[in-house]
């Protein structure tokens, strides 16, 4: 009997929110329960700290530069993507009834909705109609915007991005974006008989900025405990880091401001967790939970004031380390310390579901053999890239993470090296430290070879 399949994502959710305690409360109690029934990857990394490249890469198992999907452009569908299948397509070809609820930030040619005959398909386009009908902005109000100087090629141009302003959602709760997606999902579940295998994708918006929070959650985590590097810049930080968008968005905010940001962010994360818990309960009520594969992850994290930065778009763990849970029927819970990547998710799932595929075509590796044997390698290398945000190629970051060591290179030939074993907050850049020269050069060379294989135009 085929397993049912559920794939859940949130947006901007950091790895450390899982099992986090604030004010003697679990921030994600439902995900914590799911984690205890799952393969729990402690060191999972996104291939890009930006929504569209991350999600397109996750769906295809292909690194963003090979896809030519490196910026947040939903209108451009690169021809390079034609030859790559998505998880959605593999599931449909294997006989699954595929449905989607939530935002759909995947750029492909042809588009995902033209590749897959979705049984139910609810996206931002549907929510935008609700917004227009109720005179609501889809992406926040002008007060949420912060003007930055964004690098476009060799020049800097003015552009506005969502900042860290906190506000309360004043309209009817049913008009809240994720509430709309949840209601549509639950309507579907009520009428689904599950006589054939189903695949359900739920992509929640929370805790993505703007930090416009339902009033029931705005003060749930008052006066949170913050990490020690809020508003602090790492030692030997490359000069161009303060020119990046994430640094400009942080501005000159006080610790009290960041406390309010964390309160809002944790409230939104808790709200998303409640939706996920209700979804799982629905699966149990339908009697299909035990026979369902459930995957949970996020596209990337958020700095939330750490390194004096906000949003993503840099290579610190706050931005590129993500939660990753895989609940696989008849596989016991295990915490995995080995580095894994979003690139590994698709081949792993296809392997477990016994869906035919060309394993050699993926940039990641199936982890299922390690899961089966309960024997993960001690060291694996994972990679991430950033190439600018929306308009054009801009700030360049390329990163490799090995066994508790991270190397970052950018287009201005500036480098960062962090010993994560002794410096988990990444506050001491060791790139010029002679004691780390050998390990730095080995990581740099390995990163260079990987990028060459991924059609990257950057020559480090």
Q: What's the mean pLDDT when you consider all of the chain?
A: 95
The whole-number pLDDT of residue 264 equals: 98
Residue 58 confidence class, pLDDT cut points 50, 70, 90 = very high
- Inform me whether the pLDDT recorded for 360 exceeds 80: no
How crowded is residue 59: how many other Cβ atoms within 10 Å of its Cβ?
26
State the average pLDDT over residues 380-400. Answer: 93
State the average pLDDT over residues 8-27. Answer: 97
> Rounded distance, CA 265 to CA 399, Å?
27
The whole-number pLDDT of residue 391 equals: 79
Residue 76 confidence class, pLDDT cut points 50, 70, 90 = confident
- Inform me whether the pLDDT recorded for 357 exceeds 90: no
**403 occurs within a structural domain:** no
| pLDDT tens by residue, 18-40 | 999 999 999 999 999 999 999 99
State the average pLDDT over residues 222-246. Answer: 95
**110 occurs within a structural domain:** yes
Residue 135 confidence class, pLDDT cut points 50, 70, 90 = very high
The whole-number pLDDT of residue 130 equals: 95
The whole-number pLDDT of residue 252 equals: 86
Residue 171 confidence class, pLDDT cut points 50, 70, 90 = very high
Spell out the residues 6+ positions from residue 239 whose beta carbon is closer than 8 angstroms to its own: 414
The whole-number pLDDT of residue 389 equals: 87
The whole-number pLDDT of residue 78 equals: 83
**100 occurs within a structural domain:** yes
> Rounded distance, CA 342 to CA 59, Å?
9
The whole-number pLDDT of residue 358 equals: 78
- Inform me whether the pLDDT recorded for 51 exceeds 80: yes
The whole-number pLDDT of residue 375 equals: 87
**397 occurs within a structural domain:** no
Question: pTM of this prediction?
Answer: 0.96
Share of the chain above pLDDT 70, in %: 100
State the average pLDDT over residues 357-374. Answer: 89
Q: Around 134, how many Cα atoms within 13 Å sit in the side-chain half-sphere?
A: 16
The whole-number pLDDT of residue 139 equals: 85
The whole-number pLDDT of residue 74 equals: 72
**435 occurs within a structural domain:** no
**15 occurs within a structural domain:** yes
Give the CATH number of the domain where residue 174 resides: 3.40.720.10
Closest CA to 206 of 264, 131, 120, 130: 264
The whole-number pLDDT of residue 124 equals: 94
**330 occurs within a structural domain:** yes
Number of domains in the chain: 1
Write down the residue that tokens 């009997």 correspond to.
1
Q: Which domain holds residue 323?
A: 4-377
The whole-number pLDDT of residue 418 equals: 98
> Rounded distance, CA 228 to CA 393, Å?
33
C-alpha angle 4-6-7 in degrees, rounded to nearest 5: 150
Spell out the residues 6+ positions from residue 9 whose beta carbon is closer than 8 angstroms to its own: 55, 102, 202, 203, 204, 296, 297, 298, 299
Q: Are strands 4-10 and 292-298 parallel, antiparallel or unpaired?
A: parallel
Q: Would you tell me the crossing angle of helices 255-285 and 177-191 to the nearest 10 degrees?
A: 10
The whole-number pLDDT of residue 349 equals: 96
pLDDT top residue among 206 and 358: 206
| pLDDT tens by residue, 93-118 | 999 999 999 999 999 999 999 999 99
- Inform me whether the pLDDT recorded for 261 exceeds 90: yes
Residue 228 confidence class, pLDDT cut points 50, 70, 90 = very high
**67 occurs within a structural domain:** yes
Q: Around 211, how many Cα atoms within 13 Å sit in the side-chain half-sphere?
A: 25
């Amino acid at each position: 009997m085929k397993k049912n399949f559920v794939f859940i994502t949130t947006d901007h959710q950091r790895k450390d929110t899982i099992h986090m305690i604030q004010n003697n409360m679990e921030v994600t109690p439902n995900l914590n329960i799911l984690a205890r029934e799952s393969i729990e990857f402690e060191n999972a990394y996104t291939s890009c700290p930006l929504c569209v490249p991350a999600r397109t890469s996750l769906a295809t198992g292909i690194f963003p530069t090979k896809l030519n999907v490196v910026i947040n452009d939903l209108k451009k569908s690169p021809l390079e993507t034609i030859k790559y299948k998505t998880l959605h397509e593999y599931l449909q070809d294997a006989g699954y009834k595929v449905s989607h609820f939530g935002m759909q930030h995947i750029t492909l040619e042809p588009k995902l909705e033209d590749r897959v005959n979705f049984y139910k398909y609810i996206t931002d386009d549907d929510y935008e109609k609700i917004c227009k009908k109720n005179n609501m902005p889809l992406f926040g109000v002008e007060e949420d915007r912060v003007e930055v100087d964004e690098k476009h090629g060799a020049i800097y141009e003015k552009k506005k991005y969502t900042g860290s302003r906190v506000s309360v959602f004043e309209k009817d709760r049913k008009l809240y974006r994720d509430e709309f997606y949840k209601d549509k999902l639950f309507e579907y579940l009520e009428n689904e008989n599950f006589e054939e295998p189903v695949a359900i994708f739920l992509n929640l918006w929370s805790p993505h900025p703007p930090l416009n929070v339902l009033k029931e959650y705005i003060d749930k985590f008052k006066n949170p405990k913050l990490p020690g590097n809020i508003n602090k810049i790492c030692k030997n930080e490359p000069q161009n880091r303060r020119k990046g968008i994430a640094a400009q968005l942080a501005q000159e905010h006080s610790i009290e401001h960041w406390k309010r940001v964390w309160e809002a962010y944790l409230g939104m994360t808790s709200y998303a967790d409640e939706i996920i818990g209700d979804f799982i309960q629905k699966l149990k009520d339908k009697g299909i939970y035990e026979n369902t594969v459930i995957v949970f992850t996020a596209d990337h994290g958020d700095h939330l004031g750490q390194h004096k930065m906000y949003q993503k778009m840099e290579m610190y763990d706050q931005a590129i380390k993500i939660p990753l849970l895989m609940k696989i029927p008849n596989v016991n819970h295990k915490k995995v310390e080995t580095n894994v990547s979003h690139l590994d998710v698709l081949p792993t799932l296809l392997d477990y579901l016994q869906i035919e595929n060309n394993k050699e075509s993926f940039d990641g590796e199936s982890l299922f053999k390690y899961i089966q044997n309960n024997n993960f390698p001690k060291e694996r290398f994972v990679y991430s890239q950033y190439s600018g945000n929306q308009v054009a190629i801009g700030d360049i970051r390329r990163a490799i993470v090995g066994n508790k060591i991270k190397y970052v290179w950018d287009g201005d030939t500036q480098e960062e090296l962090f010993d994560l074993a002794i410096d988990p907050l990444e506050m001491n850049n060791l790139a010029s430290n002679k004691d780390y020269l050998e390990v730095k050069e080995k990581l740099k060379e390995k990163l260079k070879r990987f990028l060459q294989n991924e059609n990257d135009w950057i020559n480090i």
